A and B are shown apart, each in its own frame.
Chain A
Amino acid sequence: MTIARRELASFFAIPLGWVAIALYLFLTGGVFTLMILNPNTAATMRPFFAVSAWLMLPVIPAISMRLFSEEYRSGTIEPLLTSPVSDAAIAVGKYLGALGFMVLMLVPTLGHVGVLVWVSEPAPDAGPIVAGYASLVLLGMLYLSIGLFISSLTSNQTLAFLGTLFAILLLLLATTLGADRLPEAMRPLLYAAALTPRIADFAKGVIDTSHVVFFVTCSAWFVLLTIVVLQSRRWS
């Protein structure tokens, strides 16, 4: 938890953290005002969750790019890896710190929900809203774990950002547009790894346990890969 706390605090001590929050809130605020606060339309947060999921594409790599890359660049990785903390604790700590920041970034958007409930008659269904937030957190968890892994591979933050963005786009494209064009043998795997149908289920207000398990397991795999990278750096 020491590492998670430091990581979380560091986002608020540098401009990047505040800029990420401000941009995210500005853009989602725009979506809320223009697409949700429309008189004579159903009270729903669906457009907000749809746009938020896309906004995570640039926002999450911006959060994750510095997790290890900055430690490598500044040399702080050396005192960190020579402390009596395990590689697993370092990777998990950094991951939790970044995840905490992402969750805190979502918290102010609860204000949108409050406004919608206040101005709507009848009030919007709670189910799709809870499921929508769950989908954002789970999607963020997966993207962050990919970003953590890629950040552990390079000391260059720009490369970590672009690498994470590219990896996520590749995952999204390969499991949607690409799946139909690839050999048949690969299709079941790609369909199983597809994110968009799972997010669509959440948008309907359904929290399917299998989707939750999918996101958590995939995230855990990338965190595990990060631990392997750290160990290979130490013992190379």
Chain B
Amino acid sequence: MLSVQGVHKSFGSIRAVRGVSFEVRPGQVVGLLGPNGAGKTTTIRMITGFLPPDDGRVMIGELDVSRDSGEARARIGYLPESAPHYPEMKVREFIAHRAALFGVERRERKKAVEAAMDRCQVGTVASRRVGVLSKGFKQRVGLAAAIVHGPSVLVLDEPTNGLDPTQVREARSLIRDLAKDRTLLFSSHVLSEVERVCDRVVMIAGGEMRADGTPSELVERTSLTPLHVVECARSPDPMPILRKVDGVSEARLEPVSDEGWVRVRITPRAGQRDLRESISVAARGAGLAVRELTIERPSLERLFAELIERPGTLGGGA
């Protein structure tokens, strides 16, 4: 298990990370989500032992990454952003070098290298130099090098950054596969990616933790009001009718392609979560034909944007 306990890190007067705490249980995939400059990479560097925390600690199982550094580092597989590599080395050679650095016994090394290459599907380029590979393949080689010693914790920093859409899809599927038998933490600033790959999300901005939970939990706990979407006839004018409904804060008209129909997005007042019945009664009373009435739950994306701008959006849940 990976446990980050109130870590702080400053660089001169810049406080890069302030009191970040979270845990990743075995078998869990946790996404560290935040905009660029949020403190994700600094947090990851403290987890992997590259940087020491000024305060707080990081535990890998029972090992303190600062105190039992060597042993703790041996349990972590780490792929830094942009998958740094030695371009002159051949793929098999590079992965074997990483295996040797992590103390994989010489007699087991060949098997471990082949297994890692097989898992990350880089066998076809095993004899090619890493420097000449495509970005997608370099990323896979980096992943193979990160798992070759069988780490119990895998940490990936922006693993899909700079990949094309096909490579991103392949990388995501590989990440999910790698997470089957280990604890996995990966950082990203791409929300859809985190939603698709992770069991849990830790949101970080301005060096502080803003939220921690499953995507659905976070949306459920949010204090953001759910939007109501009403598709109704253009006549009679729906705006005065809907604006009069008790609990409505704002109504916004949107055109639809069908002649004679419009879509209205309604924002309820704070504390009002479900206005469907009131809207339905008001529309029927005014003779307004309604063909669709739905609640649009706040998306993780909307929550993320709000959390970056307004830290208190998640109520006391975080």
Q: Mark A70-98, 1 if CB is under 8 A from B, else 0.
A: 00001110111111111000000000000
What is the CA–CA distance of A86 and B48 in the complex, to the nearest angstrom? 14
Q: Mark B34-52, 1 if CB is under 8 A from A, else 0.
A: 0000000000010011111
Interface residues of B in 80-94 (CB under 8 A from A): 80, 82, 84-86, 88-89
Of chain A, the residue at the smallest CB distance from B76 is A82
Contact B73 A75 (CB under 8 A): no
What is the CA–CA distance of A85 and B101 in the complex, to the nearest angstrom? 7
State the majority secondary structure of interface residues on A: helix
Q: Which of A6-14, A56-64, A170-178, A195-203 contacts B (4 or more CB under 8 A)?
A: A6-14
Contact A84 B70 (CB under 8 A): yes
**Closest chain B CB from A81 CB (angstroms):** 6
**Closest chain B CB from A98 CB (angstroms):** 15
Of chain A, the residue at the smallest CB distance from B157 is A78
Contact A14 B88 (CB under 8 A): yes
What is the CA–CA distance of A3 and B100 in the complex, to the nearest angstrom? 9
Of chain B, the residue at the smallest CB distance from A10 is B88
B100: which of A2, A10, A81 is its contact (CB, 8 Å)? A2
Report if A235 contacts B (CB, 8 A): yes
Contact B52 A84 (CB under 8 A): no
Report if A204 contacts B (CB, 8 A): no
Of chain A, the residue at the smallest CB distance from B47 is A82
Q: Which residues of chain B are within 8 angstroms of A14 by Cβ–Cβ distance?
A: 88
Q: Which residues of chain B are within 8 angstroms of A86 by Cβ–Cβ distance?
A: 70
A83-B73, A84-B74, A86-B70 known; A235+B52 contact, CB < 8 A: yes
What is the CA–CA distance of A41 and B40 in the complex, to the nearest angstrom? 71
Report if B200 contacts A (CB, 8 A): no
Interface residues of B in 111-152 (CB under 8 A from A): 145
A2-B97, A6-B97 known; A82+B48 contact, CB < 8 A: yes
**Closest chain B CB from A87 CB (angstroms):** 10
**Closest chain A CB from B128 CB (angstroms):** 13
Of chain A, the residue at the smallest CB distance from B85 is A76
**By the criterion of a CB under 8 Å from any partner CB, how many residues of chain B are at the interface?**
26
Q: Which residues of chain B are within 8 angstroms of A79 by Cβ–Cβ distance?
A: 78, 80, 84, 98, 145
What is the CA–CA distance of A235 and B49 in the complex, to the nearest angstrom? 10
Q: Which residues of chain A are within 8 angstroms of B145 by Cβ–Cβ distance?
A: 79
Contact A75 B70 (CB under 8 A): no
Contact A84 B50 (CB under 8 A): no
Contact B49 A82 (CB under 8 A): yes
Q: Which residues of chain B are within 8 angstroms of A80 by Cβ–Cβ distance?
A: 101
Q: Which residues of chain B are within 8 angstroms of A85 by Cβ–Cβ distance?
A: 101
Q: Which residues of chain A are within 8 angstroms of B88 by Cβ–Cβ distance?
A: 10, 13-14
**Closest chain B CB from A132 CB (angstroms):** 33
B103: which of A13, A75, A82, A84 is its contact (CB, 8 Å)? A84
Q: Which residues of chain A are within 8 angstroms of B97 by Cβ–Cβ distance?
A: 2, 6
What is the CA–CA distance of A75 and B80 in the complex, to the nearest angstrom? 8
Contact A83 B50 (CB under 8 A): no
What is the CA–CA distance of A85 and B145 in the complex, to the nearest angstrom? 15
Q: Can you report 12 residue pairs joining A to B where beta carbons are below 8 Å apart?
A: A74-B86, A75-B82, A78-B45, A79-B84, A79-B145, A82-B48, A82-B76, A83-B73, A83-B102, A84-B74, A86-B70, A234-B50
Which positions in B face A, CB cutoff 8 Å? 45, 48-52, 70-71, 73-74, 76, 78, 80, 82, 84-86, 88-89, 97-98, 100-103, 145
Q: Besides the contacts A6-B97, A13-B89, A83-B73, what 4 more A-B pairs have beta carbons closer than 8 Å? A: A10-B86, A76-B85, A79-B145, A81-B50
